Amino acid sequence: MPLLRAKGVVLRNRPLGEADRLVTCFTLEHGKLSGVAKGAGKLRSRFGSSLQPLSLIRLMLFGKETRSLYRIDHTDILTSFQTLRDDWEKLRPALYAVDLVDALLAEADPQPRVFALLEQLLTSLSDGRTVHIDVWLRAFEARLLTLVGYRPLLDSCAICHRPAADPGALSPRVGGYVCPTCEPRVSDAHRLSPATWRLLARLTTLPWEAATRLSLSTEQRQDLQRMLHALLNEHVRKEVKSYRFLGEPADIREGM
Ligand SMILES: [Zn+2]
Do 206 and 228 fall into the same domain?
yes
Q: Do 105 and 228 lie in a common domain?
A: yes
Asked if residue 198 and residue 114 are part of one domain, the reply reads: yes
Residues paired with 16 in a beta bridge: 20
Q: Does residue 167 belong to any structural domain of this protein?
A: yes
What is the extent of the structural domain holding 17?
Answer: 1-80
C-alpha 204 to ligand 1 mean position (Å): 22
Same domain, 128 and 153: yes
- Residues 207 and 112 reside in one and the same domain: yes
Query: Are residues 189 and 209 located together in one domain of the fold?
Result: yes
In a shared domain, residues 107 and 150 = yes
- Say whether both 236 and 109 belong to one domain: yes
Per-residue confidence at 253, pLDDT binned at 50, 70, 90?
A: very low
What separation in Å is there between the alpha carbon of 157 and the centre of ligand 1? 5
In the chain, the percentage of residues whose pLDDT exceeds 90 is 74
Is 94 inside a domain boundary?
yes
pLDDT at 205: 87
- In this structure, the answer to whether residues 8 and 99 fall within a common structural domain is no
If pLDDT is split at 50, 70 and 90, which confidence band does 64 have?
Answer: low
- The number of domains in the chain is 2
Gap from CA of 199 to ligand 1 centroid (Å): 22
Is the same domain home to 63 and 114?
no
Reported ipTM: 0.99
Q: Determine the distance separating the centroid of ligand 1 and the alpha carbon of 162, expressed in angstroms.
A: 6
| Last-in-domain residue among 35, 63, 80 | 80
Assess if residue 110 is contained within a domain.
yes
Domain limit, last residue, from 27, 60, 80: 80
pLDDT by residue (tens digit) across 23-32? 999 999 999 9
pLDDT tens readout for residues 167-216: 789 999 999 999 999 999 999 999 988 888 899 999 998 889 898 788 88
